[in-house]
A and B are shown apart, each in its own frame.
Chain A
Amino acid sequence: LAKTTQPPSMEAYEGQEVNVSCSHTNIATSEYIYWYRQVPHQGPQFIIQGYKDYVVNEVASLFISADRKLSTLSLPWVSLRDAAVYYCIVTDRVDRGSALGRLHFGAGTQLIVIP
């Protein structure tokens, strides 16, 4: 599974758009990119996933570079509720026995939202 690298922390003011980057230079052709977030005292929550180009849902958008080595999670108009640790995870969607569905969490990016 490809290793990911994220900034350890970021700060943003309420109402700003926030872009959280993730580097996955060794991503394999069968691997997808997932983003989760975790607020204090709760389990991680799935945000968005993608393979290439641009993906958007009601919560966030995800841009993936053409070579798939970099992805950027974009959160529009952040509020205090968006203060959380954001995890970028690369995992295989192909059935490879025990690898299927396993998520490897790194340290993530702590997003601090300033009122």
Chain B
Amino acid sequence: EAAVTQSPRNKVAVTGGKVTLSCNQTNNHNNMYWYRQDTGHGLRLIHYSYGAGSTEKGDIPDGYKASRPSQENFSLILELATPSQTSVYFCASGDPTGGAPEQYFGPGTRLTVL
């Protein structure tokens, strides 16, 4: 069974502070993704990665940075958090080059920026 974990599960931050959300996968998947989900909406892609050392912009990258230091780890960084970034963040991994582009999602991180 695919395993994607996220930490922290809940985070309260202050406006202007730095926030780092971490994601770890044990699936040995090449691709990893960060999404955010706001109440009543589907997921929106922020950043993704094709492998260690690579990061790519998704559909809503403004205000976010990403880091992929290894195959297993993918971080989302909010350098200057704002209240509009209050949301639930999901990390996912997948291996589309293997012909199976389904993604495996973590449990989510609920971020509140005050």
Contact = CB atoms under 8 A, between A and B. Distances in A.
Interface of A: 32, 34, 41-46, 49, 87, 91, 93, 95, 98, 100-108
A31 to B, nearest CB: 11
Q: Which of B43, B97, B99 has the most CB of A within 10 A?
A: B43
B108 A43 contact: yes
Nearest to B42: A105
B92 interface: yes
Question: Main secondary structure on chain A at its contact with chain B?
Answer: loop
B64 interface: no
Contact of B43 (A41, A44, A45, A46): A44
Contacts, number: 62
Interface in B73-114: 90, 92, 94, 96-97, 99, 101-108
Contacts of A41: 107-108
7 contacts: A43-B4, A49-B102, A87-B42, A93-B96, A93-B99, A101-B48, A105-B35
Interface residues of B, number: 28
B21 to A, nearest CB: 13
Interface of B: 4, 31, 33, 35, 40-45, 48, 56, 58-59, 90, 92, 94, 96-97, 99, 101-108
Given A93-B101, A107-B40, 18 more contacts: A41-B108, A43-B4, A43-B90, A43-B92, A43-B105, A43-B106, A43-B107, A44-B103, A46-B102, A93-B96, A95-B97, A98-B56, A100-B97, A101-B33, A101-B101, A102-B58, A103-B33, A105-B35
A59 to B, nearest CB: 13
A92 B107 CA distance: 26
Contacts of B102: 34, 46, 49
A91 to B, nearest CB: 7
Nearest to A101: B96
